[in-house]
Amino acid sequence: MTESPYQMESIEALHRALHETRAYEPWRAMDPGPAATVDERYAALPHTDKAFIRSAFPYGLVPREKDLDQGLLRGDVELVATSGTTEERVINVWNQRWWDFSEQESWKLHAVTARVCTGAHREAILTSARNVGPASDGRELPFQERRLGRLLYLNERSSPLLWTNETLIRIARELDEYRPHVLECNPSYLARFALGAERLGLAVAQPDIILFTYEFPSLLHLRQIKRVFGAPLGSSYGSTEAGYVFMECEHGAHHLNATSCRADFVPLPGAEEGIGSLRVTPFGNEWTALLRFDPGDLVRISTEFACPCGRNGAVVLKALEGRKTALTRTLEGRPVTQAELDGVLAAEEALVTYQLVQEGKGIYVLKAVLPERGRRGAMDRLHDALRELYGRHAVARIDTCSDLEPEASGKFLMAKGPPWTPSAHGGPSA
């Protein structure tokens, strides 16, 4: 039987990692070999996490044929650190050429990006400066210092809590003057801008498409954004380590960027069918081999859904369900994903934003940003909603606050559950 290009790329990536890198040498004994199908071979292996990458740095994941020291001297690659806590932070061997290919392939998976993204198109980015772009909390950077080629970074601050009314006015003005085809953003950052623009009565220019990345897009964010922006919305899902993995199409399904990577689905024990995590294997990165990398997110897979867009090969997701670290549990131990929680809380129209922390079994604290008017009624409704979700004997406390700080990574985490461990949640560790 002839293998598909996707399966052939999967076999090549498997062989390259197992036989050309030092870090994956111990995994060879677990590979059932060519007598098994490629899917069976991948399923037999553990997964790669960020701790594994740190332990292999800098040479363990580089194929033996490549001289990393010379590559760094020539500028073929560089070392790039991700943001976040010590547990989340990783230094990667950054291959810009591979990254650009992965991004360009992802553009083909949405009708608008396939039309407007040429590689020379204008793109504006609204995210934390801790993630990408020029950074300055001490002074406002002028336009030219925030424009890099076709990219315009709208924010140089580490947190949107540092924005002033003048910052909001500047962002609106630059959107109008630059007229980006694509606005890429943290959904929480764009929602904050939308709320500010609405409050100040600012006219906002519309891009061809808005792409969410870096964070889970809350229904609250979407509601706030849609009051100001009428452009099509989509999610681009990936990671620094794995590249661009999924793109949401014009019909709301998330399609695998199958020319750039492989994705294997691992069900979440105790959750309803179709919810689980991903193991991503990038293709074609000549400087780094990764097998079954766990990006740390939960998804809802589609097994029988035929998307009207016609892009139904490899893997299709119905939804992104949020970070594993945002997974909470009911009194009975049933897992509650960030998406399920968000659907319950976003039903409260008065809620501006929130963070739910599970402090122990059956103990939940909701930090809620609510307007003063009608606050007591909103708090009562949120309390009832939490007990309905987690169990009628759950201890639910609502703490109101004027705002919420982002995490060390610059991103906003809207739910925090008990620590994720393989023994508690399933799946081998690398």
Per-residue model confidence as pLDDT tens for the chain (430 residues): 568 999 999 999 999 999 999 999 999 999 999 999 999 999 999 999 999 999 999 999 999 999 999 999 999 999 998 876 556 789 999 999 999 999 999 999 999 999 999 999 999 999 999 989 999 999 999 999 999 999 999 999 999 999 999 999 999 999 999 999 999 999 999 999 999 999 999 999 999 999 999 899 999 999 999 999 999 999 999 999 999 999 999 999 999 999 999 999 999 999 999 999 999 999 999 999 999 999 999 999 987 778 999 987 779 999 999 999 999 999 999 999 999 999 999 999 999 999 999 999 999 999 999 999 999 999 999 999 999 999 999 999 999 999 999 998 889 999 999 875 443 333 333 3
Bridge-based pairing of strands 151-153 and 147-148 is antiparallel
Buried b / exposed e along 116-142 (16+ C-beta atoms within 10 A): bbeeeebbbbbbbbbbbbebeeeeebe
Tokens of 228: 């100001």
Closest among 154, 88, 19, 5 to 295, alpha carbons compared: 88
Q: Where are the domains of the chain?
A: 96-324, 326-425
First to last CA, the chain: 32
Residues in Cβ contact with 355 at an 8 Å cutoff, skipping those fewer than 6 apart: 366, 367, 404, 412, 413, 414, 415, 416
Determine if the peptide bond prior to 58 is cis (ω within 30°).
yes
Q: What pLDDT does 5 receive? A: 93
Q: What pLDDT does 84 receive? A: 63
- Tell me the CATH architecture of domain 326-425: 2-Layer Sandwich (3.30)
Instruction: Compute how many other C-beta atoms are within 10 angstroms of the C-beta atom of residue 377.
Output: 12
Using a 10 angstrom Cβ sphere, with 0-12 exposed, 13-18 middle and 19 or more buried, the burial of residue 303 is exposed
CA-CA distances (angstroms) from residue 395 to 348, 361, 387, 418?
A: 20, 9, 8, 16
Same fold, 96-324 and 326-425: no
Instruction: Compute how many other C-beta atoms are within 10 angstroms of the C-beta atom of residue 72.
Output: 14
Distance CA 11, CA 16 (A): 8
pTM of the model: 0.93
Distance CA 186, CA 154 (A): 12
Using a 10 angstrom Cβ sphere, with 0-12 exposed, 13-18 middle and 19 or more buried, the burial of residue 331 is middle
Hey, which residues does 377 pair with through a beta bridge?
Answer: none
Distance CA 155, CA 165 (A): 13
Closest among 127, 134, 193, 137 to 165, alpha carbons compared: 193
Helix (H, G, I), strand (E, B) or coil at 283: coil
- CATH numeric code, 96-324: 3.40.50.12780
Secondary structure element (H or E) that encloses residue 301, with its range: strand 297-302
